[in-house]
C-alpha cells in the first residue's frame, strides 16, 4: 500500500433499515482516526454499494445490516465485488449477526464481523491492519486497463495521482475514444447551496441524452487529523448503477482555493477515458476561492435565495470568475428578489438559470446548453 495516502473506507446501509445514526457516529470516529470516509446513505443495494466501492477505490468496504438479511445480502455483495474486479477489497460487516452464522458469513466473503456494542478502537485497529495488506497492481496493468475502458483501473490510477505518484511521462491514450474531448464544467458555491444535489439531477438529465458524465467532488479535510467525511456521493447516487455516470470523491488535503491535490490532472484523466462531460465540484467556497477557473472550461456559481444582495454580488473574487450563475432552491421564499438583485449586479452578459433540485425544475435548460457544446 502507498504510504502517502490515507485509508479510504466506504460505509453503506443496505436494504430496508430506516435509520443511520450508528453509521454516522462511526463515520465521525473514522474521520477523527484520519480516514477518508465515503458514506452512501440509506437503502442502498448490494450492486450500487460495490459500484461505489469500485469507483472510489476504497481500501475497506463497511456494510451495516440490522434487518437480519445477512445470509441473503452477503452473497450478493460477493458476487458484485467479483464482477467488478475488486475481490481483494475486504468487507467488514456490522449489525445483528447471530454467532452461529459467523462462520458461514465469513466463508461467503466477509473478513470481519462487528456486532452492536463492539469497541470502536478495535474496529479502527482492524481497519488499519487490513489496509496494510492492500497492494497496488503494476503500473502497466493499470494503464492497459485504462486503455481498455476498465473503470476499476481508472479508479486506481486516480488514487495513484492523488497520492502524488509520478505519471508525468504518460498521457491518456486515444485508443478506444478520442482523448481529451470532454466539456469540463466547474461547480462552486457556498456550503449548503445544493451543489451535489444539483449535479445529481443535471448528470441524470445528461445521461438521458446519452452523454457520459464524470464527477470529481471535493470535500474538506480535517486540519487536525487529515481525515475527511466525503458525503457528496450520497446526493448523486440514484437507483441502479450506471457505467456512464462515474463519481469520485476527493479530499482537499492541504490544497487551498476549494480544490484538492491534482484535480486538474484528474479532469484530464477522465476526459481521456471518454467521458463527454466532467463536473469538478469544489468544497463549500468563499469569496476568494477562485482556483477552479484554471481547471475548467466553464464555471457555474450556485447561489440560493436570500444569500446576499446587489452589493454582495458585485464584489470581486468568486463572482468575477463565474461564466454562468445558477439560482438554486428557487422553491424557497425570496427567489424573485434575489434574482433581481443578481441581475442588477452582474448584468445580462452572463446567463442566470433558476433551478430547484427538489422539484427538478430548470435543469433541462442547463442540459440544453451543455449539449449544445458537444
Of residues 30 and 65, more confidently modeled: 30
The answer on pLDDT for 237 being more than 90 is no
Pick the CATH number of 8-132 from 3.40.1160.10, 3.40.50.720, 3.40.50.280, 3.30.70.1400: 3.40.50.280
Confidence band (pLDDT; 50, 70, 90) for 69?
A: confident
Name which of 79-93, 135-149, 322-336 the model is least confident about. 135-149
The answer on pLDDT for 178 being more than 50 is no
Confidence at residue 310, expressed as pLDDT on a 0 to 100 scale: 61
Please indicate whether the domains covering 8-132 and 183-372 agree at the CATH topology level. yes
Ramachandran angles phi, psi of 327, nearest 5°: -90, 95
Confidence at residue 78, expressed as pLDDT on a 0 to 100 scale: 97
Confidence band (pLDDT; 50, 70, 90) for 113?
A: very high
* Rounded Cα gap, residues 48 and 42, in angstroms: 12
The domain ranges of the chain are 8-132, 183-372
The answer on pLDDT for 22 being more than 60 is yes
Within 13 Å of residue 247, how many CA atoms lie on the same side as its CB? 30
Set of cell numbers at residue 181 = 474531448
Buried b / exposed e along 93-109 (16+ C-beta atoms within 10 A): bbbebeeeeeeebeebb
The answer on pLDDT for 23 being more than 90 is no
Confidence at residue 181, expressed as pLDDT on a 0 to 100 scale: 86
CA-CA-CA-CA torsion sign (106, 81, 42, 10):
positive
Percent of the chain with pLDDT over 70: 92
Of residues 117 and 198, more confidently modeled: 198
Q: Give kind and range of the element (H or E) at residue 29.
A: helix 21-32
Confidence at residue 172, expressed as pLDDT on a 0 to 100 scale: 65
Q: What does CATH list as the number for 183-372?
A: 3.40.50.300
Confidence at residue 73, expressed as pLDDT on a 0 to 100 scale: 93
Give tens-digit pLDDT for 247-278: 999 999 988 888 999 899 899 999 999 999 99
Confidence band (pLDDT; 50, 70, 90) for 21?
A: confident
Confidence band (pLDDT; 50, 70, 90) for 173?
A: low
Name which of 79-93, 97-111, 223-237 the model is least confident about. 223-237
* Rounded Cα gap, residues 336 and 80, in angstroms: 48
The answer on pLDDT for 164 being more than 80 is no
Average pLDDT over residues 151-164: 92
The answer on pLDDT for 166 being more than 70 is no
Confidence at residue 176, expressed as pLDDT on a 0 to 100 scale: 44
Q: Give kind and range of the element (H or E) at residue 167.
A: none
Confidence at residue 180, expressed as pLDDT on a 0 to 100 scale: 65
Give tens-digit pLDDT for 328-374: 999 999 999 999 999 998 899 999 999 997 888 999 999 999 999 98
The answer on pLDDT for 284 being more than 70 is yes
Pairing of strands 183-189, 298-303: parallel
Amino acid at each position: 500500500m502507498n504510504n502517502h495516502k490515507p485509508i479510504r473506507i466506504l460505509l453503506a446501509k443496505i436494504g430496508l433499515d430506516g435509520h443511520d445514526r450508528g453509521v454516522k457516529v462511526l463515520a465521525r470516529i473514522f474521520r477523527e482516526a484520519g480516514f477518508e470516509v465515503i458514506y452512501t446513505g440509506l437503502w442502498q443495494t448490494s450492486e450500487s454499494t460495490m459500484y461505489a466501492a469500485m469507483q472510489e477505490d476504497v481500501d475497506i468496504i463497511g456494510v451495516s445490516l440490522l434487518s437480519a438479511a445477512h445470509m441473503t445480502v452477503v452473497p450478493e455483495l460477493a458476487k458484485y465485488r467479483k464482477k467488478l474486479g475488486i475481490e481483494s477489497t475486504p468487507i467488514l460487516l456490522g449489525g445483528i449477526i447471530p454467532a452461529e452464522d459467523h462462520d458461514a458469513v465469513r466463508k461467503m466473503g466477509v473478513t470481519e464481523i462487528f456486532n452492536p456494542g463492539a469497541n470502536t478502537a478495535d474496529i479502527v485497529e482492524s481497519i488499519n491492519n487490513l489496509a496494510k495488506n492492500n497492494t497496488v497492481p503494476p503500473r502497466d496493468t493499470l494503464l492497459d486497463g485504462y486503455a481498455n475502458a476498465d473503470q476499476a483501473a481508472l479508479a486506481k490510477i486516480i488514487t495513484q495521482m492523488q497520492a502524488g505518484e509520478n505519471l508525468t511521462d504518460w498521457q491518456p491514450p486515444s485508443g478506444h475514444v478520442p482523448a481529451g474531448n470532454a466539456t469540463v464544467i466547474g461547480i462552486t458555491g457556498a456550503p449548503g447551496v445544493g451543489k451535489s444535489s444539483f449535479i445529481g439531477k443535471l448528470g441524470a438529465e445528461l445521461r438521458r441524452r446519452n452523454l457520459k458524465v464524470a464527477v470529481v467532488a471535493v470535500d474538506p479535510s480535517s486540519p487536525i487529523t487529515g481525515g475527511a467525511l466525503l458525503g457528496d456521493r450520497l446526493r448523486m447516487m440514484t437507483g441502479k448503477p450506471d457505467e456512464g455516470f462515474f463519481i469520485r470523491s476527493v479530499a482537499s488535503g492541504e490544497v487551498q482555493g476549494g480544490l484538492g491535490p491534482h484535480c486538474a490532472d484528474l479532469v484530464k484523466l477522465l476526459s481521456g477515458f471518454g467521458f463527454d462531460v466532467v463536473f469538478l465540484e469544489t468544497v463549500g467556497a468563499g469569496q476568494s476561492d477562485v482556483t477552479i477557473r484554471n481547471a475548467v472550461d466553464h464555471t457555474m456559481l450556485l447561489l440560493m435565495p436570500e444569500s446576499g444582495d446587489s452589493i454582495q454580488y458585485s464584489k470581486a473574487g468568486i463572482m468575477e470568475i463565474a461564466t454562468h450563475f445558477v439560482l438554486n432552491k428557487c422553491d424557497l421564499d425570496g427567489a424573485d428578489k434575489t434574482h433581481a438583485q443578481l441581475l442588477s449586479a452582474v448584468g445580462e452578459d452572463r446567463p442566470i438559470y433558476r433551478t430547484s433540485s427538489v422539484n427538478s425544475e430548470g435543469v433541462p435548460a442547463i442540459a440544453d446548453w451543455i449539449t449544445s457544446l458537444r
